[in-house]
Structure 1
Amino acid sequence: MTKRLLSPALLDALERISLSRRALLAAAPVVSTVLALDARAQAQRPVIDITRARTDPLPIAIPDFAGAQPWGAQIAQVITANLARSGLFRPIDRRAFLQESPEATPRFAEWRVIGAQALVTGRVDQQGDRLRVEFRLWDVLPGTQIQGTAYTTQIPNWRRIAHICSDAIYERLLGEKGYFDTRIVYVSESGPRDRRIRRLAIMDQDGENHRFLTDGAWAALTPRFHPNTREIAYMSYARNEPRVYLMDVDTRRETLLGNFPGMTLSPRFSPDGNSVILSAIRGGDANIFVVDLRTRRERQLTSGPSLDVSPCFSPDGQKVVFNSDRGGDQQLYVMDADGGNVRRISFGQGRYATPVWSPRGDLIAFTRLTRGTFAIGVMRPDGSGERILSEGWQMEGPTFAPNGRVLAFWRETRAQDARGGGYSARLASIDITGFNERALPTPADASDPAWSPLIPG
């Protein structure tokens, strides 16, 4: 019997990839104000090429923000940690600073002597239950201000302000959108490997503001964000019936998506947020359907005796990538959004699964299994330019950050004994060029992450 590669985190009837077939609380509005730029500031062009930054990270100094504490120090620390994790910046050790928390024009000579090429300064003022946070970004070598913005929000949102500042710095210096003001939803795992409890959990991209969305009474799998970041679609085994549900992540209110016979799985929202694409199993085969969220009407896109699963829209909504065993082994296919013009795009050695389209539209990420070795890779939408980013023991489920520059995925470690002791599953992130792989912190084992779009202001 041909082995069929299914959606990655399915259990019982749909097993793991190597087997055969069977918040943040609601954020208060953030008001921003652009501060006057230095008259000598240059046009809006990147300070450093991002390709150069991968091999020679940009030295940047980020002293504590002046004013109200502890907010000033904490905001600077979050910005520092965000930029350091990207692998593209090298924050300078604060013990080297010759000037602390400058509020006026910095003494640039003192920052040049410690090797800083960029400098971030700021001030925090508390106004009742609100904070006004201003930051300025300086190009140290010419001594010019190249970014200046002030934000006003409620005190509990101070971390969001730090992430928004980080995004602004990232974009201004590198010329690409940032990804720090985002969240990750994932499956939190606990218990013995053969009796895992799987709950949905959500956190900021840096692991903070962690909370659970489900209680573990029923297995919950494959969570995916709505474009508005406030809703998710996921698969639940509630009442032992595998179905796709929708959830408001702030209220945790759940609704069943449609009344499909059989099992529904692999949900993802369309780019406009008006529909969900998913797979439904009927009569032993899985086909792809689109469900309109307003009318709940379903439209079938594929048919035939095969397993067509893990569909994902292109960012413009015109194409769909999915994996299928219609050719005898699990491979990646692209079709038009109406189900026409189906064409295979994966031709390397091994089986391919869990495709996801980059928000930039230029790449498709995937999981590949070749002779027992798992890998996370990317290819162009026509199948050309395939590159493996990371490989090893079990790893699956890539998901793009909203700027298309970074991927998250999950990996297992091998069990150390016959009873499964030593097993763990953890999240990781990696640049699309294959550098800067690092662990993402979670309080317990974790799998199947989904990265949110940037959180709306």
Structure 2
Amino acid sequence: MVDFLNVTNLECGKARRQIAIAFAAFLAVLFAAMPVRAEVSIDINRGNVDPLPIAITDFVGGAGQEAQIGADITTVISNNLERSGLFRPIPKAAFIEKISDINVQPRFGDWRIINSQALVTGQARMESDGRLRVEFRLWDVLGEQQLTGLQFFTTPDNWRRVAHLVSDAIYKRLTGEDGYFDTRIVYVSETGPKNARVKRLAIMDQDGHNPRMLTNGAELVLTPRFSPNSQEITYLAYRNNQPRVYVLDIETGQQEVVGEFPGMTFAPRFSPDGQRIIMSLQRGGNSDIYTMDLRSRQVTRLTNTAAIDTAPSYSPDGRQVTFESDRGGSQQIYVMNADGSNQRRISFGQGSYATPVWSPRGDLIAFTKITGGRFVIGVMRPDGTGERILTEGYHNEGPTWAPNGRVLMFFRETRGAQGGPGLWSVDVTGYNERPVPAATMASDPAWSPRIQ
């Protein structure tokens, strides 16, 4: 783990003072004469944003392991920011100044010549106790001032997570929004031919690295979903053709059966406080929404219709639930209060709607829509207004939100005998659609909250 007790904030001009006294005094002298100008920033509320040119230098280190870790951290940060679609890392071959000491003010003119508006410098050093110390500075090249900086202490093998944390800090300082790079994706890994597909639960970092399998493929697994603390997931598995809802601790591997339910069970998902699971149970020929208290195991029914009600998702404040239902004759999106009251339909466009999931920001509901033979991923406001299509394809399904509510991930099937599912992401504005690397074919992704 990153030692958060030893994360030092080096941000200038803020009320927070978490810096060692000697170093704080040094910074004050170094930057006292710097001019105050308008800060560089990115307006991410616009649709198609021109990427911000940013220079990310190799993190300074010694020889051997330090040098390699420094270069690797730089690569991860550059890749993270570039994939967001908001930044354009400048090729290192264009750099004029070589950074050898991050405590010395950069030659801003050298960076303006290559059209860089922001500059990242850093260093990676091994401490005498074996820990890795990583520092970075984010500079406004045009304003000639430091915007932020952090220092991390961790184990050397945890350098990749530090790179994600640095990426998040840069993203937040320049956009005003929380980053989403220090997160993970749980998904269904699929291998083998279409007629004998093996499905296992898997997890990886949001950029596709550090993949590992969580189940062995002996059971069919479906619909994995993270708990609010990102430590546990709930999912559905079939053992001896009987559906079971599980809760799995992804760090310890400890697994618990939440319940075995007669008939079919669908789409379990945690409540925002992590105390309940909401799901769809099929009883008496129709499917309704139920919640289960994880402490008492008490089950409460929320819907009671002759229709198929399924795919429930809580609002981030836990007060409402969105779900899909065919009670009106076709699959549509509904919203109700968390106790099941005030059930109302919110989707009225052409086609059928499915897999609604509430944004972590609370402002949008994402969905899958089938219309005219097309599978589209879209969003609408919780009252059903403002429907927008973000992407369409042969078979798109299963949207999941990044924890900052700015990016969606989903899976897309490809045609043909060799076809299969793969993961994709798209910005909430509908721009910057990209494939997400995974070790195998992958479906039904779920994006974690920020790692605690």
1:190 Cα offset (Å): 1.4
Residue 187 of structure 1 corresponds to which residue in structure 2? 188
CA distance in 2, matches of 1:45, 1:227: 34
| Equivalent of 2:90 in 89, 92, 107 | 92
Query: In the alignment, is residue 402 of structure 1 matched against residue 398 of structure 2?
Result: no
Query: In the alignment, is residue 32 of structure 1 matched against residue 12 of structure 2?
Result: no
CA distance in 2, matches of 1:324, 1:129: 56
Residue 442 of structure 1 corresponds to which residue in structure 2? 438
Residue 178 of structure 1 corresponds to which residue in structure 2? 179
1:303 Cα offset (Å): 1.0
Amino acid corresponding to residue 169 of structure 1 in structure 2: I
Amino acid corresponding to residue 63 of structure 1 in structure 2: T
Note the alpha carbon deviations across 1:235-293, whole angstroms, 9 max, x for none.
10122211211111112221111243222220110111111111111122111111111
In structure 2, relative to structure 1, the CA distance for the partners of 1:356 and 1:44 (3 Å cut) is farther
Residue 428 of structure 1 corresponds to which residue in structure 2? 424
Query: Tell me, what secondary structure is at the counterpart of 2:312?
Result: strand
Query: Tell me, what secondary structure is at the counterpart of 1:290?
Result: strand
TM-score when normalising by structure 2: 0.91
Deviates more, 1:362-371 or 1:98-107: 98-107
1:53 Cα offset (Å): 8.5
Alignment of 1:198-277 (within 5 A): 198-277=199-278
Structure with bigger RCO (C-alpha 8 Å, 6+ apart): 1
CA distance in 2, matches of 1:377, 1:438: 16
1:46 Cα offset (Å): 6.5
Residue 116 of structure 2 corresponds to which residue in structure 1? 116
In structure 2, relative to structure 1, the CA distance for the partners of 1:232 and 1:161 (3 Å cut) is same
CA distance in 2, matches of 1:43, 1:223: 48
Amino acid corresponding to residue 113 of structure 2 in structure 1: V
Query: Tell me, what secondary structure is at the counterpart of 2:240?
Result: helix
Residue 11 of structure 1 corresponds to which residue in structure 2? none
Note the alpha carbon deviations across 1:287-321, whole angstroms, 9 max, x for none.
11111111111111111211110000000000000
Query: Tell me, what secondary structure is at the counterpart of 2:318?
Result: coil
Residue 66 of structure 1 corresponds to which residue in structure 2? 60
Alignment of 1:145-164 (within 5 A): 145-164=146-165
Is the 1:44–1:172 contact (alpha carbons within 8 Å) kept by the matching residues of 2? Answer: no
Amino acid corresponding to residue 434 of structure 2 in structure 1: R
Note the alpha carbon deviations across 1:8-56, whole angstroms, 9 max, x for none.
xxxxxxxxxxxxxxxxxxx353331012524458699772222469431
CA distance in 2, matches of 1:183, 1:236: 21
Count of residue pairs brought into register by the alignment: 425
Amino acid corresponding to residue 226 of structure 2 in structure 1: F
Query: In the alignment, is residue 378 of structure 1 matched against residue 379 of structure 2?
Result: yes
Note the alpha carbon deviations across 1:399-431, whole angstroms, 9 max, x for none.
00000000000001112xxxxx12121000000
CA distance in 1, matches of 2:220, 2:262: 19
Amino acid corresponding to residue 53 of structure 2 in structure 1: P
Query: Tell me, what secondary structure is at the counterpart of 1:237?
Result: strand
CA distance in 2, matches of 1:28, 1:110: 34
Query: Tell me, what secondary structure is at the counterpart of 2:379?
Result: strand
Amino acid corresponding to residue 107 of structure 1 in structure 2: R
Query: Tell me, what secondary structure is at the counterpart of 2:67?
Result: coil
In structure 2, relative to structure 1, the CA distance for the partners of 1:393 and 1:281 (3 Å cut) is same
Residue 367 of structure 1 corresponds to which residue in structure 2? 368
CA distance in 2, matches of 1:106, 1:318: 50
CA distance in 2, matches of 1:422, 1:346: 35
Is the 1:123–1:134 contact (alpha carbons within 8 Å) kept by the matching residues of 2? Answer: yes
1:70 Cα offset (Å): 1.2
Amino acid corresponding to residue 71 of structure 1 in structure 2: I
Is the 2:40–2:117 contact (alpha carbons within 8 Å) kept by the matching residues of 1? Answer: no
Is the 1:46–1:175 contact (alpha carbons within 8 Å) kept by the matching residues of 2? Answer: no
Is the 2:245–2:260 contact (alpha carbons within 8 Å) kept by the matching residues of 1? Answer: no
Amino acid corresponding to residue 422 of structure 1 in structure 2: Q
Query: Tell me, what secondary structure is at the counterpart of 1:76?
Result: helix
Amino acid corresponding to residue 79 of structure 1 in structure 2: I
Amino acid corresponding to residue 43 of structure 2 in structure 1: D
Query: Tell me, what secondary structure is at the counterpart of 1:361?
Result: coil
Query: Tell me, what secondary structure is at the counterpart of 1:157?
Result: helix
Is the 2:7–2:150 contact (alpha carbons within 8 Å) kept by the matching residues of 1? Answer: yes
Residue 73 of structure 2 corresponds to which residue in structure 1? 75
Query: In the alignment, is residue 48 of structure 1 matched against residue 46 of structure 2?
Result: no
CA distance in 1, matches of 2:74, 2:47: 21
Deviates more, 1:346-355 or 1:97-106: 97-106
Identity of aligned residues (%): 58
Query: Tell me, what secondary structure is at the counterpart of 1:255?
Result: strand
Residue 304 of structure 1 corresponds to which residue in structure 2? 305
Amino acid corresponding to residue 82 of structure 1 in structure 2: N
Gap runs ≥5 in structure 2: 13-30
Query: Tell me, what secondary structure is at the counterpart of 1:173?
Result: helix
CA distance in 1, matches of 2:178, 2:39: 13
Amino acid corresponding to residue 106 of structure 2 in structure 1: P
Is the 2:207–2:436 contact (alpha carbons within 8 Å) kept by the matching residues of 1? Answer: yes
CA distance in 1, matches of 2:47, 2:118: 13
Is the 2:268–2:280 contact (alpha carbons within 8 Å) kept by the matching residues of 1? Answer: yes
Query: Tell me, what secondary structure is at the counterpart of 1:365?
Result: strand
CA distance in 2, matches of 1:254, 1:45: 49
1:192 Cα offset (Å): 2.0
1:196 Cα offset (Å): 1.4
In structure 2, relative to structure 1, the CA distance for the partners of 1:36 and 1:287 (3 Å cut) is closer
Gap runs ≥5 in structure 1: 1-26, 416-420
Query: Tell me, what secondary structure is at the counterpart of 2:110?
Result: helix
TM-score when normalising by structure 1: 0.90
